[in-house]
Structure 1
């Protein structure tokens, strides 16, 4: 209800008492949706802070505000040096204004997504300046048209058949919910009138309570159970709402987003460790292909005269095993293939072992980070943490807002730049020096990065997958085989003044791979 007329009719007199006689000494903005006005008086500085980023429309009136040295712009120059002589609310409207000694009016229009701050010259009907200039209809807005008159008599109520929205359109969501909870929609007309008088009485003698519900922290003028805080001063209520809903709410949202990202990573890491450990155990307990190769080599005579199928005694297990040769395949060739497969299995076992060890290290690091995040109590601590963990910048943003596509393959994260400018942003703001960087050789294409944080070794299968993506997202997309260069990110640098996406690369190696897009991954694994 902080944008509601029924709150503003209390806030405006309080602002009148607080700001009358104060001189406007600065008016500036540090973000496109927030306007700050500084006033000076006998008691020192007092600020008017209007945050107008939909849906977070809030006002606060702090005694201190630390203006940034950069990214700050002065606005409403005509206000500087003027003196506030009044503050009034527009009748039955979500707007109020400060009257100035020069005859100007500074209007705060709190119309949800269309909220704005407008400056009117003396005796002028249209505003001379708008804070949010994109709201075109405000350019011709007559401030006098904002004020409305409503007849709140019983005769008018009966004439409208008790329609609350038409009788009192300024009620707002909380009073309407209060009426609905007491059976207003189904009640007879005389009972509706009694309920309407009751809610009007409550609105005329309010306490300003902050309450938290599914929509976040809100201000209510009606009695509520278990309020966060209750105030008799509307300025204090507005300031506390600003802090609870915007400052603290933003902190909690950012902290929880970071925490959830780490927890999601930890869950995926645990899952990978569990599945890989099961696979490792399965491979270790299964008979090595070399055993069958030994049986074949000990029974070559069984394949004489072009025989392609026979049953042999497996002297390792004591069981009989059926061996079938392919067309024109010799038993020695099959044995050689099995020996090679057995050797590759040992390589696979070693690689899975190393990757699991890397994942355990990553798990320990994630658990440490989660514990650190949970202990952070304010924005200062959160910003300090983010500053010392810049390599995790990506997980604090929504995926749609990242300058790269994200792929997961065999426990590794692969990033693919979305455009030339995005390639630069990814390299500048997200990549760590130990990450592996890939690019299709000597043709335009996306930068590709394999995240190596917490990983001690890189399987060839992951390198080939990332190289396939680098080839796919390049001019070599239609080639059967494409050369892709790769090196550690610390050997990739941007040259000042070079074109977007252009870099200098040192110590690169080359790998030849077929271009494989994201939709072809499953097919590639099966082949």
Structure 2
């Protein structure tokens, strides 16, 4: 109810008392949706802080505010040096105005997602400046139209048949729920009137309670059994709400989001460790293909005179095994193929062991980070943590807001840019210089990045998979084979003034791959 007329009618006179006679020293913003007004008066320096980022619209009036040296811009320059005379609420409207000595008026229109701050010169009915210029209808808003007198007599109530929304449209959700809980919708007209009068009496009592409704901290003008703080001073109530809902609330949300991301990463990492360890044990326990090849080479005489199928003795295990040759295949060729598979399997074993070691290290790092984040108690600590771990800022973003698609393949993370502009953003703000960068050769397409943090080398099948994605998300999507260039991110640079997604590349290699979408398998995956 902090944006409600029934609260603002207490807040406006309190602000008159606090700021009357104060001179405006500066007016600035250091974040897109927050305006700060610095004033000086008999009580010292005071600030008016308006945070208008929907749906978090809050006001506060602190004694101290540290202006950042960077990313700070002066606004409403014509206010500087002017003096605040008084503050008034508009009748039955979610808006209030500061009257200034110059005759100017500064309007705070607190209409939820359409909240804004508007400056009017003396005798002007249209604003000369807006804080949020994107709200186009405010550019022609007549401030006098914000006055909305209401008839609260029995005659009007009777005429509307007790329709609460039409009789008193300023009530808001909490008072409407109060009426509903007391059977207002089904009551007779006389009972409705009495309930309405009881509600107005409660709203006339200047006591403001802090409550939590559906996970959100809010202010109520009604008695609340589960209140965790009550105030008689509306300015103090505003400041406390700002701190609890915006400062602490946002901190908890950011902390929870970061923790959830780490926990999900840890869950995926532990799952990969389990599956890959089982695969490693399976590979180690099965006889290498080279043994089968040795047996074939020792029994070449069996396949003389065009024999294509024979049972031979497996001298490593003592078993008899059936060997079938393909049409026109020589036993020596089959043995050579098995020797190659045995060599490749040893390479696969070595790579799995390397990746497992990297993943175990990652799991330990994630566990440490989870403990550290859980121990953080305030925004300052969270910012310091992210400063030390800048790559983890990605974890604070929702997946849909990232400039790239995310894929996982054999323990490696692969990013695919969503658009030309997103390609630039991915390279500018997310990648590491040692990551591997891929792109379809000489055609428009997505930038693809294989993340290498904590990994010792990238297996050929992972590079092939990422290259297949690079080809798939390019103009070469329908080709049977496509050339893809790859190099480390540190050899990819943006040329000033070039088109979105356009880069210069050094030390690139070219590989030929089949374009493969996210739901398709690589040839190596199928063969295994």
Q: TM-score, normalization: structure 1?
A: 0.92
1:112 aligns with 2:112: yes
- Tell me the equivalent position of 1:152: 152
Q: Tell me the C-alpha RMSD between the 2 structures.
A: 2.5
Q: Tell me whether 438-447 or 101-110 shows the greater mean CA deviation.
A: 438-447
1:363 aligns with 2:360: no
| Secondary structure at 1:35 match in 2 | strand
Structure 1 residue 11, shift from structure 2 partner: 0.6
Conserved 8 A contact 1:392-1:430: no
- In structure 2, the CA distance between the partners of 1:179 and 1:279, relative to structure 1 (3 Å rule), is same
- Tell me the equivalent position of 1:24: 24
- Tell me the equivalent position of 1:166: 166
Q: How does 1:110-509 map to 2 (within 5 A)?
A: 110-441=110-441, 445-474=445-474, 476-494=476-494, 500-503=500-503, 505-509=505-509
Equivalents in 2 of 1:123, 1:457: separation in Å? Answer: 72
Equivalents in 2 of 1:522, 1:495: separation in Å? Answer: 34
Q: Tell me whether 265-274 or 23-32 shows the greater mean CA deviation.
A: 23-32
| Secondary structure at 1:520 match in 2 | coil
Q: Tell me whether 113-122 or 453-462 shows the greater mean CA deviation.
A: 113-122
- In structure 2, the CA distance between the partners of 1:336 and 1:523, relative to structure 1 (3 Å rule), is closer
Conserved 8 A contact 2:217-2:244: yes
| Secondary structure at 1:45 match in 2 | strand
Conserved 8 A contact 2:93-2:147: yes
Q: TM-score, normalization: structure 2?
A: 0.92
Q: How many residues align?
A: 527
Equivalents in 1 of 2:51, 2:88: separation in Å? Answer: 20
Spell out, residue by residue over 1:388-423, the C-alpha distance to the aligned partner (whole angstroms, 9 max, x if none). Answer: 212233232223333333221111011233444444
Structure 1 residue 524, shift from structure 2 partner: 7.1
| Secondary structure at 1:97 match in 2 | strand
Structure 1 residue 108, shift from structure 2 partner: 1.0
| Secondary structure at 2:520 match in 1 | helix
Equivalents in 1 of 2:478, 2:159: separation in Å? Answer: 74
Q: Tell me whether 180-189 or 487-496 shows the greater mean CA deviation.
A: 487-496
In structure 1, runs of 5+ residues without a counterpart are: none
Conserved 8 A contact 2:107-2:119: yes
Equivalents in 2 of 1:150, 1:445: separation in Å? Answer: 61
Q: Tell me whether 85-94 or 27-36 shows the greater mean CA deviation.
A: 27-36
Equivalents in 2 of 1:327, 1:121: separation in Å? Answer: 94
Q: Tell me whether 297-306 or 43-52 shows the greater mean CA deviation.
A: 297-306
Equivalents in 2 of 1:391, 1:131: separation in Å? Answer: 34
- Tell me the equivalent position of 2:78: 78
- In structure 2, the CA distance between the partners of 1:189 and 1:312, relative to structure 1 (3 Å rule), is farther
Equivalents in 1 of 2:129, 2:507: separation in Å? Answer: 58
Structure 1 residue 356, shift from structure 2 partner: 0.8
